[in-house]
């Protein structure tokens, strides 16, 4: 009881801080210097219509490489932690059938979901999409497949190959930027093209496609690892 009271007191204090923050907040009328630089220079320097993509892939590209690495580490640790559970799963467990609606529905929807995922990451430099979003959409298709058949085994070697190759090519493109253009992950060793065209913004569509494949593969591995765990 005392514990709950303490928790409520703590929450009230934090809530008080939040209230003053909200009440005292005035939105800026002008962009700050960093954002102004990005808004002014993206079109000429990067050629990407989506400013967020330009920041994520080029201006702060190194951070995104780190982010992809963190995601890879999370997937790897997940596989490591759950590895023992997976070996025991060989003794197949009995499952209730999932029903006609889900089976047929997933057959119709999964190809469309995959297509949407590819569309989202290929158009990452033009629309509010990108590799991470597209990869998550692809993984949601994998989740639908797992829902229809929780015991489904995916081609682990294929997924691992896609993931590693995407990572290797990502770093290779970063190095090409270092040697052929201005710096690591510089997208301008390919022609920038016209703003708003599909083949524009230099290497950004390629990088985002690689990220999309990598993130999709990593999320799929995570989902299938979690799904492979034994019912306790």
What residues make contact with another protein under the rule CB under 8 A? 4, 7, 10-11, 14-15, 18-19, 21-22, 25, 27-29, 31-32, 34-36, 38-40, 42-44, 49-52, 55-56, 60, 63-64, 67, 70-71, 73-75, 77-78, 81-82, 85, 126-128, 130, 132, 136, 195-196, 215, 219, 222, 225-226, 229, 232
CB of 61 to another protein, least distance (A): 11
CB of 217 to another protein, least distance (A): 14
CB of 100 to another protein, least distance (A): 30
Q: What is the rounded distance in angstroms from the CA atom of residue 65 to the CA atom of residue 162?
A: 17
CB of 35 to another protein, least distance (A): 4
Q: Could you tell me if 89 and 230 are in contact, meaning their C-beta atoms sit under 8 angstroms apart?
A: yes
101: Cβ–Cβ under 8 A, 6 or more apart, which residues? none
Q: Could you tell me if 203 and 56 are in contact, meaning their C-beta atoms sit under 8 angstroms apart?
A: no
CB of 183 to another protein, least distance (A): 19
Q: Could you tell me if 206 and 129 are in contact, meaning their C-beta atoms sit under 8 angstroms apart?
A: no
Q: Is the dihedral of CA 45, 49, 54, 55 positive or negative?
A: positive
Which lies closer to another protein via its Cβ, residue 78 or residue 176? 78
192 alpha-carbon distance from chain centroid: 24
Which lies closer to another protein via its Cβ, residue 33 or residue 100? 33
CA distances from 127 to 44, 52, 131, 180, 197 (A): 18, 10, 12, 28, 11
Which lies closer to another protein via its Cβ, residue 52 or residue 176? 52
Which lies closer to another protein via its Cβ, residue 52 or residue 144? 52
Which lies closer to another protein via its Cβ, residue 17 or residue 108? 17
For the record, the structure tokens of 183 come out as 């710096």
CB of 32 to another protein, least distance (A): 7
Q: Could you tell me if 52 and 60 are in contact, meaning their C-beta atoms sit under 8 angstroms apart?
A: no
Backbone angles phi, psi at 194, to 5 degrees: -90, 140
Which lies closer to another protein via its Cβ, residue 16 or residue 99? 16
């Amino acid at each position: 009881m005392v514990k709950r009271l303490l928790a409520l007191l703590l929450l009230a204090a934090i809530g008080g801080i939040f209230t003053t923050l909200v009440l005292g907040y005035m939105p800026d009328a002008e962009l700050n210097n960093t954002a102004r630089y990005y808004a002014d220079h993206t079109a000429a320097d990067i050629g990407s219509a989506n400013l967020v993509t330009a920041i994520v892939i080029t201006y702060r590209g190194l951070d995104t490489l780190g982010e992809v690495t963190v995601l890879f580490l999370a997937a790897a640790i997940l596989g490591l932690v759950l590895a023992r559970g997976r070996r025991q799963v060989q003794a197949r467990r009995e499952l209730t059938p999932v029903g006609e609606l889900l089976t047929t529905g997933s057959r119709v929807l999964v190809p469309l979901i995959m297509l949407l995922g590819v569309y989202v990451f290929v158009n990452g430099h033009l629309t509010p999409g990108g590799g991470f979003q597209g990869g998550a959409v692809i993984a949601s298709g994998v989740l639908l497949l797992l829902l229809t058949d929780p015991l489904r085994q995916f081609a682990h070697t294929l997924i691992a190959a896609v993931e590693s190759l995407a990572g290797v090519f990502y770093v290779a493109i970063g190095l090409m930027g270092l040697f052929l253009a201005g710096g690591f992950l510089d997208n301008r060793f390919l022609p920038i093209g016209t703003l708003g065209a599909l083949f524009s913004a230099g290497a950004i569509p390629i990088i985002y496609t690689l990220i999309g494949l990598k993130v999709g593969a990593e999320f799929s591995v995570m989902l299938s690892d979690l799904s492979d765990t034994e019912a306790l």
